[in-house]
Amino acid sequence: MKEKNRQSGRKKGISYAKYGYLFILPFFAAYIIFTLAPQILTFYNAFFENYRDGLTQIGPNFVGLDNFVTLFTPDAGGVIDMLKYFGNTILLWIMGAVPQILIALMLAVFFTSYRLKIKGQQFFKTVIYMPNLIMAAAFSMLFFTLFSPVGPVNQALISSGVIEQSIDFLNIKISVRLLIALMNFLMWFGNTTILLMAGIQGIDQSLFEAAELDGAGSWQVFRKVTMPLLSPIMIYTIITALIGGLQMFDVPQVLTKGLGMPDNTSTTMVMYLNRYLQTSKNYGMAGAISVVLFIISAVLSIIVYRTLTKQYRMKGGRA
């Protein structure tokens, strides 16, 4: 610490430390009021019975872990909603994120290849990044109108004679899931491509040249040079995509009118949380779901980080 002080060439005698505190004060004030306090209040709520039944307010009464017990108790049909929606969320995420990361990696390699020398890169990047900025609710609404029973997709399929009766894409498990995955893929692969491209461009060019001189083929260069050196950025990409995936809400919510149809097979965890918050004002149950969501995102990000750093151990390189 002391050495650092000297290095930065600070004048002796005058302490500017108070400005440091002053400059970060607004950030921390806002963080404490609008995030930390609500966070603690959310966890606190998880241990109380607190909901609205018609016009009567029940609670808040302290109930210990009852909300968590309820959350993980199977219903009459033997289904634990929380686990089902966790499964849905992960499945929907994987369906979108696997192609997202693979295709982004492929495009990043194409764009940075000095052998291929792809032209019109700016155009392609502009187009594939665009869906990332589009309002997810509007994008989802657009897909609903396009794929609705009377929408243009059905009209086109009927008029071209592929089908005779319109397909209710939004009531079939696989098509709803595919649509959600497709939207998530479209919204995120351009972003990932640009991140990975920057990662590849950050790799020392001489390493590629050295590998080439040693007679390594394109695939070998990719496996032995590009991938290991790209791993910090891959970790960053996967973790952020995963955390984003856990928050999946706007797209399935709007596409399925919040119902997660058919039969809640496209209901995500945040949609479940939203039902308790929006409709029944059940803050106890909503609090319990939030705690679970918090733990899952913490654990998952640690796991992904660990496995990936183990797989590609590097010499001190970090993102």
Partner 1 sequence: MSTSESTKGRVQLTVLRIIVYAILIFLAVLCLFSFYMLVINSTKSNAQLQDTFNFIPGSHFIDNLANAWTDASINIPRGLLNSFIVAGLTAVLTTYFSALTAYGIHVYNFKFKNAVFVFIMAVMMIPPQVSAVGFVQMMNNLHLTNNYLPLILPGIAAPIVFFYMKQYLESVLPMEMIEAARMDGSGEFRTFNRIVLPIMKPALAVQLIFSFVQSWNNYFIPALLLDKAEMKTVPIMIAQLRSADYSKFDMGKVYMFILLAILPVIVVYIILSKSIIKGVTAGSVKG
Question: 18-77: which residues touch partner 1 (CB under 8 A)?
Answer: 18-24, 26-31, 33-35, 37-45
Helix (H, G, I), strand (E, B) or coil at 62: strand
* Beta strand residue intervals within the chain, DSSP E: 48-53, 56-62
Measure the CA–CA gap between 21 and 1, rounded to whole angstroms. Answer: 18
* Residue range at the interface with partner 1 (CB under 8 A); choices 69-77, 85-93, 196-204, 208-216: 196-204
Q: Minimum Å distance from CB 78 to partner 1?
A: 28
Near partner 1 in 77-106, by CB under 8 A: 103, 106
Q: Minimum Å distance from CB 239 to partner 1?
A: 7
* Residue range at the interface with partner 1 (CB under 8 A); choices 17-25, 70-78, 89-97, 307-315: 17-25
Near partner 1 in 142-161, by CB under 8 A: 142-146, 148, 150, 152, 155-156, 159
312 is an interface residue for partner 1 by CB under 8 A: no
Burial class (CB in 10 A: 0-12, 13-18, 19+), 272: buried
DSSP class of residue 168?
-
Q: Which of 98, 102, 130, 163 binds partner 1 (CB under 8 A)?
A: 130
Cα-based angle 97, 309, 230 (whole degrees, multiple of 5): 65
Q: Minimum Å distance from CB 31 to partner 1?
A: 4
Treating both helix axes as pointing N-terminal to C-terminal, what angle do 136-147 and 173-201 enclose, rounded to 10 degrees?
140
Q: Which of 196, 243, 309 shows the shortest CA–CA distance to 89? A: 243
Q: Which of 71, 105, 136, 180 binds partner 1 (CB under 8 A)?
A: 136
Helix (H, G, I), strand (E, B) or coil at 57: strand
Query: 248-267 mask for partner 1 (x: CB under 8 A)?
Result: -xx--xxx-x----------
Token output for 252: 């399935």
Q: Minimum Å distance from CB 108 to partner 1?
A: 11
Q: Which of 82, 89, 86 shows the shortest CA–CA distance to 245? A: 89
Q: Which of 67, 85, 273, 275 binds partner 1 (CB under 8 A)?
A: 273
